Amino acid sequence: MAVPAEVLIAEQAQPIHQEPTSFWRKYVFSIDHKMIAKQFLWSGCIFLLLGGVLAMMIRWQWAFPYRKIPLVGELLLPRSGGIIGPADYQQVFTTHGLIMIFFAVTPVLIGAFGNFLIPLQIGARDMAFPKLNMYSYWSFFLSQLLVLASFFASLGSGGAGWTTYPPLSTNVGTPGAGQSLLVLAIFVTGVSSTMGAINYVTTVIRLRAPGMTYRRLPLTMWGLWLTAILNALFVPVLGAAGLLLLFDRQFGTQFFVAGASAVRGGGDPILFQHLFWIFGHPEVYIMILPAWGIVGDVVSFFARKPHHWYKGSAGAMIAVTVLSAMVYGHHMYVTGMSPLLGQGFMVFTLAISLPSMIIVLNWLWTIWKGSIRLELPMLFALATMILFGIGGLTGLFLGDISMDLYLHDTMFVVGHFHFTMAAGSIVGAMTGIYFWFPKMFGKKLDTRLGQIHFWFTFLGLLAVFLGQLATGYAGQQRRLFDPYQYTFIQGLHGLNLATSIAAFILFLGQLAFVVNFFKTIFSKEKDREQNPWQVGTLEWTACSSPPAYHNFDHIPQVLRGPHELSDPEVMKVLDRDWVGQAEPLPQGTAGARA
Amino acid sequence: MAAAVSASGFGEETPPGIVRRLADRRRRDEATATIGMVVFLASWAMLFASLFFSYGLLRARTPVWPPLDQPPIPVLLPAVNTAVAALGSGAVILALRFLRLGRLRRGSWALAASAGLGTVFLALQVVVWVGLYRAGLVPSGGPYASVFYALTCVHALHVLVGIAALAWLAARGFVGSVTAHRHLAVRLWGMYWHFVGLVWLVLFATVYVI
């Protein structure tokens, strides 16, 4: 059979390179996208654990204020003997948010899945710029070290909240090197994200295998690609905000300093909020778009049906990407913004729910009357739909100005963004981990342990974040060191205590995942199924598990879309309900030309 | 399938016209790198756009700008600098033209000239800074000084990176590692250099002139 010209051209453009043999080149300073993905995965998971410990400390404080943390208290807070003081508490909730968003979810969802999946799913032998990819990881690693270093600064780590709003985050509010190190860490991780984004955007544009048109991309690719575009355009805005904040802190400039401590009128703290949210709102979608993509693919694969209205879902993702850049003002309704401007932001904010609904309804229609296989990835995908759904619906309350005036800065906001960014993104990432684990490590994760992990995670997250929504609706402000100093919150102690206990159970439930992860990686069992989920995308059908260094011996010629499941013609010819994206049907059958 | 890919890279069954397209590999690689550079510059343009946005917002909420008690910012030297930046960009264009024609030595000299012009630019900028600092405009002197020093310093850092890159390319040109067919790096750094020049133009117009 003749090799198609496009394939020859693609293969010549991406020659097979020799796999490096030295330890450093292979495992540490690797330019292989699969190894870099694993590095991001490890870094992200370790910080996920760290962020989780910090979350438990917050919950402890709200359940048992001024009491010593049992077992690990002295270890975590040696100076106070395990009791969380007000200053410690500031640092705990600040670093919890920052670590979870920038140093845990982002590396896992974008760093690990982006790197691992983009070349494999589009049929490329590596990223467009492999070395840039390596720099991206190592600058990310540096930013993680900066975060860790901030804990050892003389006044402790930063304490101005994850949003680092001035004037609290200036030298006036939070003196000491800790806050500066955190801001620097945000800047460095921003540089890393930008490098990654340049790579992802270019790779998807240039290195798609012949026949892999945009309409044949798996939805995961759409999610990651749009995320990369948002990253490339909006992370530098955060970079600028961080840079100016650093100038203010280190060189005495006055961008954000105002009031009594300012010279000649000073700057404007609200300016920082503008910059932060111009970045911050797209960031919300940066963190959810990959999860949407993953869920879209997984529901199709495990309902054994093509994704319902694929073009609609891809188009809706594009619409969300564009709209996400136009709504940032809804974080600032209470800053005294012009009501007219506020209304504009409100309209755009509520308009985002339309494309979001297209995506969610398409998931439901995909599942509708499907032959559902309730395997682990599907369980997590369904959980993502429910948890993200609650997050999205509570977002409507906050997007509405009159409602937001009441709910602003309450635990309701905390519950809302935990449902979207923590539950939606992290459970979405878990979907991906359970689904692609066999591709990364060649072995499937244990089902029993996975189910235990699933129920602890799903019910745990639901309980904890519903508790947050309820306390917030009852009026509890967020970020309070001791909420019960306020008489009207004292009645909420029981609810907070129950929520905290749910959180501790949720945290312990993650042990099932850790055990499962290591048990599977180190198991001797050679259960290398090439395509355990029986799906057609390139990473499962055109290369081995785990993939060779160069991914594809021959660059595949893609013939069809990613969700060609239960096609009657294919079932007749091949006697199975799936067909590879690049798998030619036998000559003479109707689908052979496909 | 393996037989089709012979030692020469393409087999007997190769369709007509493909020889030419295979030979275009370098052009494809260059297109990929160019797209990467465009994404990078778009990204970095957002960084500078944010800085200018900050400037605009601070200025909009200040009743008197520039403040009456601050030393006036000079316009003449920065205007000269604008011309220097334009010449620097021109030198890179010239260098590329020479390289395409195969006149490698001239190309390298043009690159060196561009790096030199960049250095002149920085030197003049230092003169402006020192003069203003001595006249009493210090970074901690309120939002006006903040904007001036932050924007010019961030821009100057980018100029510094550009100078280093162009000098390195010029050095590579003199030892012969840049040829008529291998000068992608010059083109990409040229794009960067034009970008830095463009930012300067906006900076000059908004910070110095109006």
Q: Decide if A11 is inside a domain.
A: no
Distance CA A372, CA A378 (A): 9
Q: Which of A73-77, A146-150, A243-247 has the lowest mean pLDDT?
A: A73-77
Entry pTM: 0.94
Chain B residue with the nearest C-alpha to that of A187: B47
Per-residue pLDDT at A593? 47
Chain A residue with the nearest C-alpha to that of B31: A206
Tell me which residues of chain A, numbers 92 to 151, contact chain B at a CB-CB cutoff of 8 Å: 128-129, 132
**Does residue A267 belong to the interface with chain B, where contact is any CB pair within 8 Å?**
yes
Which comes out higher in pLDDT, residue B25 or A256?
A256
Chain A residue with the nearest C-alpha to that of B68: A264
**Does residue A244 belong to the interface with chain B, where contact is any CB pair within 8 Å?**
yes
A527 CB neighbour count, 10 Å cutoff: 11
Which comes out higher in pLDDT, residue B15 or A87?
A87
Per-residue pLDDT at A160? 93
Contact criterion met (CB < 8 Å) for B143 and A267:
yes
**Chain B environment of A1 (Cβ under 8 Å):** 1
**Chain A environment of B51 (Cβ under 8 Å):** 240, 244
The closest of A375, A291, A357, A273 to A113, measured between CA atoms, is A291
**Chain B environment of A9 (Cβ under 8 Å):** 18, 21-22, 28
Per-residue pLDDT at B21? 66
**Chain A environment of B36 (Cβ under 8 Å):** 128-129, 132, 198-199, 202
CATH number for the region B44-209 comes to 1.20.120.80
Q: Where are the domains of chain B?
A: 44-209
Q: How far is CA A140 from CA A186, A192, B33, in A?
A: 10, 5, 23
Per-residue pLDDT at B47? 97
Q: Decide if A10 is inside a domain.
A: no
Polymer length of chain A: 594
Contact criterion met (CB < 8 Å) for B36 and A247:
no
Per-residue pLDDT at B85? 96
Contact criterion met (CB < 8 Å) for A271 and B54:
yes
Per-residue pLDDT at B155? 97
Per-residue pLDDT at B3? 40
Contact criterion met (CB < 8 Å) for B54 and A9:
no
Is the pLDDT at A141 greater than 60? The verdict is: yes
Work out the mean pLDDT of chain A and round it to a whole number: 93
State pLDDT tens for residues A331-370: 999 998 898 999 999 999 999 999 999 999 999 999 999 9
Residue A174 belongs to domain with CATH number? 1.20.210.10
Contact criterion met (CB < 8 Å) for B46 and A234:
yes
**Chain B environment of A235 (Cβ under 8 Å):** 43
Q: Which of A15-24, B50-59, B91-100, B131-140 has the lowest mean pLDDT?
A: A15-24
Is the pLDDT at A165 greater than 60? The verdict is: yes
Interface test with A, best of B133, B146, B148 (most A CBs within 10 A): B146
Distance CA A67, CA A76 (A): 14
Supply A469's token pair. Answer: 């929504």
Name the pLDDT band for B6 (thresholds 50, 70, 90).
Answer: very low
Name the pLDDT band for A392 (thresholds 50, 70, 90).
Answer: very high
Name the pLDDT band for A16 (thresholds 50, 70, 90).
Answer: confident
Name the pLDDT band for A8 (thresholds 50, 70, 90).
Answer: confident
CB distance A93 to A99 below 8 Å: no
Which comes out higher in pLDDT, residue A590 or A332?
A332
**Chain A environment of B154 (Cβ under 8 Å):** 243
Per-residue pLDDT at B22? 65
Contact criterion met (CB < 8 Å) for A8 and B18:
yes
**Does residue A243 belong to the interface with chain B, where contact is any CB pair within 8 Å?**
yes
**Chain A environment of B144 (Cβ under 8 Å):** 264
The closest of A230, A433, A199 to A326, measured between CA atoms, is A230
Distance CA A278, CA A287 (A): 15
Supply A380's token pair. Answer: 């997590």
Min Cα separation B177/chain A (Å): 21
**Strand partners for A578:** A565
Contact criterion met (CB < 8 Å) for B149 and A554:
no
CB-nearest to A268 from B39, B61, B69 is B61
Counted domains in chain A: 1
**Chain A environment of B33 (Cβ under 8 Å):** 129
The closest of A179, A169, A185, A186 to A237, measured between CA atoms, is A186
Tell me which residues of chain A, numbers 318 to 377, contact chain B at a CB-CB cutoff of 8 Å: none
Name the pLDDT band for B20 (thresholds 50, 70, 90).
Answer: low
Supply B135's token pair. Answer: 């006249």
Supply A318's token pair. Answer: 């594009």
**Chain A environment of B62 (Cβ under 8 Å):** 265
Distance CA A514, CA B158 (A): 45
Per-residue pLDDT at B8? 42
3-state SS, one letter per residue, for chain B: CHHHCCCCCCCCCCCCCHHHHHHCHHHHHHHHHHHHHHHHHHHHHHHHHHHHHHHHHHHHCCCCCCCCCCCCCCCHHHHHHHHHHHHHHHHHHHHHHHHHHCCHHHHHHHHHHHHHHHHHHHHHHHHHHHHHHHHCCCCCCCHHHHHHHHHHHHHHHHHHHHHHHHHHHHHHHHHCCCCCCCCHHHHHHHHHHHHHHHHHHHHHHHHHHC
Contact criterion met (CB < 8 Å) for A232 and B139:
no
Distance CA A424, CA A419 (A): 6
Tell me which residues of chain A, numbers 550 to 589, contact chain B at a CB-CB cutoff of 8 Å: 554
Q: What single-letter amino acid sits at A375?
A: E
**Chain A environment of B54 (Cβ under 8 Å):** 240, 244, 255, 271, 275
Q: Decide if A3 is inside a domain.
A: no
Contact criterion met (CB < 8 Å) for A9 and B142:
no
Per-residue pLDDT at B10? 47
Per-residue pLDDT at B97? 94
CB distance A513 to A453 below 8 Å: yes
Per-residue pLDDT at B17? 66
Contact criterion met (CB < 8 Å) for A240 and B47:
yes
Contact criterion met (CB < 8 Å) for B46 and A128:
no
Per-residue pLDDT at B9? 46
State mean pLDDT over A83-90: 93
Supply A127's token pair. Answer: 């990223």
Which residues constitute the domain of residue A174?
A: 30-593
State pLDDT tens for residues A461-490: 999 999 999 999 999 999 999 999 999 999
State pLDDT tens for residues A536-555: 999 999 988 889 999 999 99
Contact criterion met (CB < 8 Å) for B21 and A205:
no
Min Cα separation B167/chain A (Å): 22
Supply A242's token pair. Answer: 């961080």
State mean pLDDT over A75-101: 92
State pLDDT tens for residues A49-68: 999 999 999 999 999 999 99
Tell me which residues of chain A, numbers 525 to 554, contact chain B at a CB-CB cutoff of 8 Å: 554
CB distance A499 to A59 below 8 Å: yes
**Chain A environment of B48 (Cβ under 8 Å):** 240
Q: What single-letter amino acid sits at A342?
A: G
Per-residue pLDDT at A80? 86
**Does residue A266 belong to the interface with chain B, where contact is any CB pair within 8 Å?**
yes
Is the pLDDT at A118 greater than 50? The verdict is: yes
CB-nearest to B47 from A1, A239, A268 is A239
CB-nearest to A263 from B53, B54, B142 is B142
**Does residue A517 belong to the interface with chain B, where contact is any CB pair within 8 Å?**
no
Predicted ipTM beyond 0.85: yes
Distance CA A445, CA A521 (A): 9
**Does residue A405 belong to the interface with chain B, where contact is any CB pair within 8 Å?**
no
Per-residue pLDDT at B56? 95
Chain B residue with the nearest C-alpha to that of A15: B9
CB distance B174 to B99 below 8 Å: no
Min Cα separation B90/chain A (Å): 27
**Chain B environment of A271 (Cβ under 8 Å):** 54, 57-58
Share of chain A above pLDDT 90, in %: 82
Min Cα separation B104/chain A (Å): 27
